[in-house]
Chains A and B, each alone.
Chain A
Amino acid sequence: MLEYPRWKYILVVVVLGLALILALPNLFGEDPALQIARKDGDPMLAASLPTIEQFLHDGHLAYSTAYLDSGRIMVRFANTADQFKARDEVNAKFADQYITALSFASRAPAFLGAMGLRPMKLGLDLRGGLYLLYQVDTQSAIAQLLDSYAQDLRRALSAANLPFTDVGIVASSGNLADSIRLTLPAGSKLDATQAIAEKTLPDLKFKVVTLPSGPALQGTLTPQQVRDRQDYAIQQNLVTLRNRVNQLGVAEPIVQRQGLDRINVQLPGLQNSAEAKDILSKVATLEFRLNAATGDPYQVAEHGNAPIGTKLYYNRQGQPLLLKREIIATGDELTNATAGNGQQGPEVNIKLDTRAGDRMLATTRANLGKPMAVVYIEKRRETTQVDGKPVTRDITDEKVINDATIQGVFGPTFEITGMTSGESRDLSLLLRAGSLSVPIYPVDERTIGPSLGKENIQRGVDALVIGMAAVFIFMFLYYKVFGLVADAVLLANVVLLTALLSMMGAVLSLPGIAGMILTVGIAVDANVLIYERIREELRNGVSPQAAIRAGFDKAFSAIWDSNVTTFIAGLVLWVLGTGAIRGFAVVLVLGIATSLFTALMGSRALITLMYGGRRKLTRLPI
């Protein structure tokens, strides 16, 4: 008699039942679909649905269903030709209201989706699309923080009537600027100055240093503060990139942090990398500055030497302007920007946060009737080939986009006018998406053609199905009934792995398929190890039931040790690998876990159930 604990039977049944449900959505396949969303990011109203349906109907555009799905309208099509046609028509008709994205909608019944069950997503290599890797300039995040500290310190010292020579930004050690240095004239009151500095900037610890030029106070950020600031910059960029990606109208985009200071963006279905990069990697910000009261900008433009405290800019017509260096407000402090049409034509309505609003109020009150300029700053990094080697350089474009007289005293809300409607829309879009306060640069990109992707997956799936069928037949021929048990266990393993991957929201790519093949190999191996042991025992004249027990018991250590060793390898690759290597490792690690479970517990439960209770068992069909 062979016995197997009841709780193990129950566990096997429950786990496999759950896995079957979780893996179910993958069975149904996908329809080509069109996602329609509102341009301003607000959810679609239910009332828009009949409008869209009517439009599709009137235009004789074939579609199967249209419905609202989490704030967007989804329209399903029978084939991609209908999908493309409908997209072009909808774009032409509703260009100013909606953005569309080509997408896929699962054919799984609605109740599965309602339970939160979704099929596995296909990776870019299988579906086609655009992959971009961005480097976040975390050094400039630190520099910006120190800049604003330095400005606060200057103000505080001037207000307290304490003399100082200069406030500069320096590196305490190495290349990374992480300190503010306040140089003082000889004979100044060190203690009083230090007290003011520490009161103004409580984050910094100031210490006295003696330089050749005289005494100075130096405040340094702790490594933790540096790290926090860098993390903050990356988080801010992640949010901004997500907003901008949504503006591109891409279905199921992926925007995620990679490593310490990188962001990886995957845009399925997108082919035009130039447009995507333009929108994604621009660092647009605004600076509000007062025009300089003295100095002739034309003379400065010709001879250089801008008067102290001023800087030379050009407006869009190419005319020079002298602006004060003091910044009233920046794009960071912007909470909203919308394009609209006012009495003076196209305008951008701007809303600042309260701190900048207070400063704006004080400035406009003191400078009513004087001109104020808005500087639009764009940073990008350009890579050119010089002697076959890529050379990157940072380009900062600064342009005065608006130079107008302060018409009234205003605080946090006001309008900028004097642009064409196209410019005002572009500007408001970039600003509303959140100004990227820290520059990001694309370090890698790849575009994967969609047709190759489709072909890839079809051929790969065909091959896998045929290969698996061959394995199933061969296992049956070689191990007879036990081979069928192994086939059932193998199938359970594939279901379990698919369920886990779907549950985790994993993305299936070619390396992932490699991982699946390795997993199938490992799962087969576990069964083969057990069955070969059972045969060995039978050959040694052991009774069938004892042979089954001995087979499982003796094969255990080999299965366990070989799987754990491979598991360790997979785990290291998961933690240290990137991209393709990680995609492979995730599937491998999960696959080892599921194959251990199905081969050791599932297979034993099934075989015990089949042969455990038979008293007069003389032969095993193995």
Chain B
Amino acid sequence: MEFFHKPTNFPFMATRKVWYGLSVLMVIISIASFATRGLNLAIDFTGGVNISATFPTAANVDAVRTAMARAGYPDPQVQSFGSSREVAIRLPPLGVKQDAQTIRAQVTKVLQGVDPAVQVAAPDVVGPQVGSELRSSAEWALFFTLVGIFIYIAFRFHTWRLSLGAILAVIHDPILVLGIFSVSQTPFDLPAVAAILAVIGYSLNDTVVVFDRIRERFHANRRLASALVLDQSINQTLSRTIMTKVVTALVVVALLFIGGPALRGFSEALMIGIIAGTYSSIYISSAIALDCGLTSEHLFPTVKKSAVDAMP
């Protein structure tokens, strides 16, 4: 079995302006949505209480919501969760007395008014502090990661043009993932952060594999036009790119459909990221390097002999 038995020959670079436009558009939409709608942050970041209850028959979400509101819980978010008999209730931080057992007892009492046979599970309770600290540590980590990648690629490939391409691709992908989370208002939790980090990892891997082939093609023939070399490189690595993505997607699809609601945000972020990462390693990282004027000379500088000859 092979996806491409004969080498493909798609003119990727010729259409890059179109894809730039698309990327810019998507990034703008993402940032705009991010600025206006924000992320639907899960209690991992906002603090608060998640509590799930199982009813003997299909749960009446509205009745649960009304009962909670009447009992004095401000702004309860009630959703069915997993099966129709289960509901997840999310409450904002409850202040000082945020003890899991107390909350469980109180909520059980309220929900027994809806159905006496209700079973309330022990809740998740998160203090309000963690979010801001996680954000600042993540920002620093991301910054130093970018610096490290820039230096390593510049060192291994002898040019900052490829470094810049790689970094823009690395920034591009998580923005798109965050944008889709913001547009769809999918709950954004800690596992989703881990997924975004994984997306960065995949995207980086892809980009560097293409770069490696570019280096090899330039080495084989220094006279070819840069755009042609880049097209050849992407085409020659295309079957590998698709194969790797299909294999990873197999695991992620399994997580998405079998992993349950707790892994939903995580697997969605991974899925979007894998698609975005494939796209960006083709149209962003290489294309940016090309538009920065990448030539074989940058990867394999001609050794200037004149300086040595001039020595007395």
Query: Within the assembled complex, what's the spacing in Å between the Cα atoms of A447 and B93?
Result: 13
Contact digits for A515-545, partner B, Cβ 8 Å, 1 yes 0 no: 1011011101100110010011001000000
Which range holds the interface residue count of chain A? Answer: 35 or more
* Chain B interface residues toward A at CB < 8 A: 1-2, 7, 50-52, 95-102, 121-130, 133-134, 137-138, 140-141, 144-145, 148-149, 152-153, 156, 166, 190-191, 193-195, 197-198, 200-202, 204-206, 208-209, 211-213, 215-216, 236-237, 239-240, 243-244, 246-248, 250-255, 257-260, 262-263, 266, 270
Q: Are B130 and A581 in contact (CB under 8 A)?
A: no
A52 contacts the other chain (Cβ, under 8 Å)? no
Q: A459-B263, A520-B251 are in contact. Are A577 and B124 (CB under 8 A)?
A: no
- For the complex of A and B, list the 3 residue pairs with the smallest distance between their C-beta atoms, beginning with the closest: A467-B254, A467-B251, A459-B260
Binary B-proximity of A448-482 (CB < 8 A = 1, otherwise 0): 11111001100110111011101100110110000
Q: Are B205 and A522 in contact (CB under 8 A)?
A: yes
State whether the Cβ of A387 lies closer than 8 Å to any Cβ in chain B: no
User: Which residue of the partner chain, among A390, A573, A580, contacts B190 with CB atoms under 8 Å?
Assistant: A580
Shortest CB distance A204–B (Å): 36
Taking CB as reference atom, which chain B residue is nearest A477? B1
Given known contacts A528-B244, A529-B240, A535 and B194 CB-to-CB distance under 8 angstroms: no
Q: Is the CB of A581 within 8 A of B128?
A: no
Return A408 CB to nearest CB of chain B, in Å: 46
Measured in the bound complex, the distance between the Cα atoms of B31 and A249 in whole Å is 49
Q: Does A365 contact B (CB under 8 A)?
A: no
Question: Do residues A449 and B263 form an inter-chain contact, with CB atoms below 8 A?
Answer: no
**Is the pair A447, B124 in contact by a Cβ cutoff of 8 Å?**
yes
> In the complex, what residues of B have CB within 8 A of residue A517's CB?
198, 248, 251-252, 255, 270
> What are some 18 contacts across the A-B interface (CB < 8 A)?
A446-B124, A447-B123, A448-B124, A452-B52, A456-B260, A459-B258, A459-B259, A464-B255, A468-B251, A470-B254, A518-B201, A525-B240, A557-B215, A562-B205, A562-B208, A572-B141, A579-B130, A581-B197
- Interface status of A426 (Cβ within 8 A of chain B): no
Contacts A273-B100, A470-B251 given; does A478 touch B1 at CB 8 Å: yes
Contacts of A554 in B (CB 8 A): 216
- Beyond the given pairs A383-B96, A446-B127, A539-B7, 13 more chain A to chain B contacts, judged by CB atoms under 8 angstroms and listed by A's residue number, are A451-B121, A474-B246, A511-B193, A525-B205, A529-B209, A558-B213, A561-B208, A562-B205, A568-B148, A569-B204, A581-B137, A581-B141, A581-B194
Chain A residue at minimum C-beta to C-beta distance from B141: A576
Q: Which one of A133, A446, A478 has the highest number of Cβ atoms from chain B below 10 Å of its Cβ? A: A446
**Which of chain A's residues have a CB closer than 8 A to the CB of B262?**
452, 455-456, 459-460, 510
Interface residues of A in 54-89 (CB under 8 A from B): none
Partner of A578, one of B1, B102, B137, B206: B137
Q: Is the CB of A562 within 8 A of B209?
A: yes
Which residues of the partner chain A approach B149 to less than 8 Å between Cβ atoms? 565, 568-569
CA distance A466 to B258 in the complex (A): 9
Residue A148 at the chain B interface, CB threshold 8 Å: no
> Closest CB-CB distance, B223 to chain A, in whole Å?
21
CA gap between A445 and B51 in the complex, in Å: 16
Contacts of B191 in A (CB 8 A): 510-511, 514, 580
Instruction: Assess whether A518 is in contact with B202, with CB atoms less than 8 Å apart.
Output: yes
| B243 and A528 form a contact (CB under 8 A) | yes
How far apart sit A273 and B102, CA to CA, in the bound complex (Å)? Answer: 10
In contact, B263 and A460 (Cβ under 8 angstroms) = yes
Whether the pair B260, A384 counts as a contact (CB closer than 8 A) is no
| Residues of chain A contacted by B1 (CB below 8 angstroms) | 477-478
